[in-house]
Amino acid sequence: MKWPDAQTVERALREWAQALAEQHSSVVRVGYIGSYARGDWGVGSDVDVVLIIAQSDLPFEQRAAAWDTTSLPVPVDLLVYTLDEWQNLPRDSRFAQVVEREARWVWER
């Protein structure tokens, strides 16, 4: 079975992020973490995308549904943070440490 490699996924993410930013001025930063960022992806791996936006009225749990990721070549686990939430994320949290260690940022305003 074939599955998209990291270069294919990153290229698609860069194109998706650019198009997203052109359509939505609220997009601040786009990156990814997880197996594709670490290089240990395999058949069936999804890509864990971090999308930072200026603001949102939606609760965190509902935000991902508002963004279309169907053009990406693998399933997506989308984490959408407001800029304020991102800046106030406890830097000693496990998630912040993972992001610091793994994140590959593909677009930034």
Number of domains in the chain: 1
In the predicted model, what is the mean pLDDT of the chain? Answer: 96
The answer as to whether 92 is a domain residue is: yes
The structure tokens listed for 69 are: 């990721």
Q: Of all residues in the chain, what percent are helix, strand and coil, respectively (each to 5)? A: 40, 25, 35
Q: Which domain holds residue 95?
A: 6-108
- Rg, Å, the chain Cα set: 14
pLDDT in tens, 31-60: 999 999 999 999 999 999 999 999 999 999
Strands 47-53 and 76-82 turn out to be: parallel
Nearest CA to 14 among 29, 35, 4?
A: 29
Inside any domain, residue 1? no
| Residue 29 in this model has a pLDDT that exceeds 80 | yes
Q: What is the CATH number of the domain that holds 76?
A: 3.30.460.10
How far is residue 32's CA from residue 95's CA, in Å, rounded to a whole number? 13
Q: Would residue 49 count as lying in a domain?
A: yes
